[in-house]
Amino acid sequence: MTIPANPLPSGGLHQPPPGAGIMNAVRWVLLAGLLVLAIVSVASWMASRQARPGTTASGAREVWSCPMHPSYVSDHPGDCPICGMRLEKRGLLAPAAAPAGGVPGLAVVDITPERVQMIGVRTAIVERRSGAGRLELVGFVSPAEGSLRRVQLRVSGWIEKLYVDQTGSRVSVGQPLVTIYSPELFQSEQEFLIAIGDRDTMTGMVMHNDGAASAARQRLGLLGVPDDEIARLERERIASTRVTLRSPAGGTVLERGVSAGQYVSADTPLLTLADLSHVWVLADLYEMDLGRVKVGDVATFTADGLPGRSFAGRVEFASPTVSTTTRTLKLRITLADAGGVLRPGMYGRVVVEARGAAMLQVPGEAVVSTGEEDYVFLAHAGGRFEPRRVTVRRLEGERAEVLAGLAAGDTVVASASFLIDSESRLRAAIEGLGAAPGTHHHGDTP
């Protein structure tokens, strides 16, 4: 039995169901719509990644800052969290290049010529100048160490009479100073008489011996017995329990360490004398100025207690050591003082005509110091100012020596540096906003 096949419409084996064409059209429309939405979403996301509030297509941004605290900046208006003042719009600022000077917290800034003139910016050229000039120091009068004389006896005893009863007294050579009663000295003189064979006092039992006498005489000298006392002993052949010490040189009594009736031992200083016809002036020189002063430089001393008078001399010596507390070393200047008007301990001013070598110098006000580092602002053409870290040594007056960071011929800002510094810190703070979009940045100004 044969079953006939059902004939298909249009001569095909399969026919699409009714409405299939409409469904396909709708499907393609939906896919196209989804694709358009995806493209728009991606574009919006990328735009949100690249643009922030107040940011232009060129990358410049509108920023606001506090008039009282320029270091506080924001990417939208509001109030300063420090003082509560309303933030002021700073305008559009494009990102600046990284600071070439390597100074943390600073950036290169561009300032229009009109504003440069308005804020009074003055520049100076870094130049090599001679280190010669006047160097003002503080000094005080001191007795010359070579003129000091100490009066002392190397035996024990008692001060029987003191001829100099106060410090500051002037004495001449050979003038009696003090009489000492010393049983120990009496015994040494007796031994000397025995050695020289004094028959009157020693009953003639000891033969004269030149070697023993010479040794006994030398022993008296080592004990501090004056030559005139030894001469009297040889002449009179009588030992004494008392000895008078006389001034070995003319001068002024600076110290009196004993009083009448006092017991003294061999290590007790009795009197200290000094010839004040020549005195020293010791001046404090900071170690950073050591290279500016040389032995032989002319120096002038003016004492506060002698207004209108000055004393000329030369630097004779510079101490090889520096004080760990004051960071200074001593300069020594010898002055003639025949009139005796310069008193030890007097305070005054020393002016040294320094003869230093040539060095790179800039105006002292050009250097901005934070306490931890020093820097200047290099002035370039077109109103560009670049922070540059430097190493300087402050000189006397209004100059500073450049040790590192600059070269001869560079142009630096010599005035209004604080205004450019504020602008540079503001620019650096604005650049810091890029790390956290939509946030505030506040940097401490040193």
Residue 366 and residue 436 in one domain: yes
Q: pLDDT higher for 75 or 77?
A: 77
Q: How confident is the model at residue 53 (pLDDT cuts 50, 70, 90)?
A: very low
Is 403 in the same domain as 436? yes
Q: How high is the pLDDT of residue 46?
A: 53
Q: What is the mean pLDDT of the chain?
A: 77
Q: Are residues 268 and 164 in the same domain?
A: yes
The pLDDT of residue 52: 46
Q: Of all residues in the chain, what percent carry a pLDDT higher than 70?
A: 74
Q: What is the mean pLDDT of residues 389-397?
A: 75
The model's confidence at residue 219, banded by pLDDT at 50, 70 and 90, is confident
User: What is the reported pLDDT for 443?
Assistant: 37
Is 161 in the same domain as 260? yes
Banded model confidence at residue 60, pLDDT cuts 50, 70, 90: low
Give the count of domains, the chain.
Answer: 4
pLDDT tens across 166-198, in order? 888 889 888 999 999 988 888 888 888 887 764
Residues 279, 140 within the same domain: yes
- Is the pLDDT assigned to residue 209 strictly greater than 60? no
Please tell me the predicted confidence (pLDDT) of residue 329: 92
Least confident range from 55-64, 98-107, 263-272: namely 55-64
Of the pLDDT bands very low, low, confident and very high (cuts 50, 70, 90), residue 404 is confident
Same domain, yes or no: 316 and 423 = no
The verdict on residue 24 lying in a domain is no
Q: What is the CATH number of the domain that holds 405?
A: 2.40.420.20
- Residue-level pLDDT at 397: 63
- Same domain? For 219 and 367 the reply is no
Confidence category of residue 151, pLDDT binned at 50, 70, 90: confident
Does residue 155 sit in the same domain as residue 234? yes
Say yes or no: 281 and 388 in one domain: no
Do 172 and 200 form a contact (C-beta atoms < 8 A)? no
Lowest mean pLDDT segment, chosen from 185-199, 269-283, 408-422: 185-199
Q: What is the mean pLDDT of residues 404-410?
A: 85
Q: Give residue-wise pLDDT tens across range 297-331.
A: 899 999 988 888 999 999 999 999 999 998 899 99
Host domain of residue 404:
96-130+359-441
Q: What does the pLDDT read at residue 446?
A: 35
Is it the case that residue 9 has pLDDT exceeding 60?
no
Mean pLDDT throughout 56-71? 65
Do 267 and 156 belong to one domain? yes
In DSSP notation, 109-177 reads EE--HHHHHHTT-EEEE-EEEE--EEEEEEEEEEE-GGGEEEE--SS-EEEEEES--STT-EE-TT-EE
In the predicted structure, residue 350 carries a pLDDT above the cut 90: yes
Find out whether 379 and 393 touch, Cβ atoms under 8 Å: no
123 and 140, same domain (yes or no)? no
Span 77-87, mean pLDDT?
85
Across 6-132, the runs of DSSP E, i.e. the strands, are 61-65, 72-74, 88-93, 109-110, 122-125, 127-130
Q: Give 3-state DSSP helix, strand, coil % of the chain, rounded to 5.
A: 25, 35, 40
Do 311 and 165 lie in one domain? The reply is no
Q: What's residue 15's pLDDT?
A: 60
Instruction: Look up the CATH number of the domain holding residue 249.
Output: 2.40.50.100
Classified as helix, coil or strand, 106 is coil
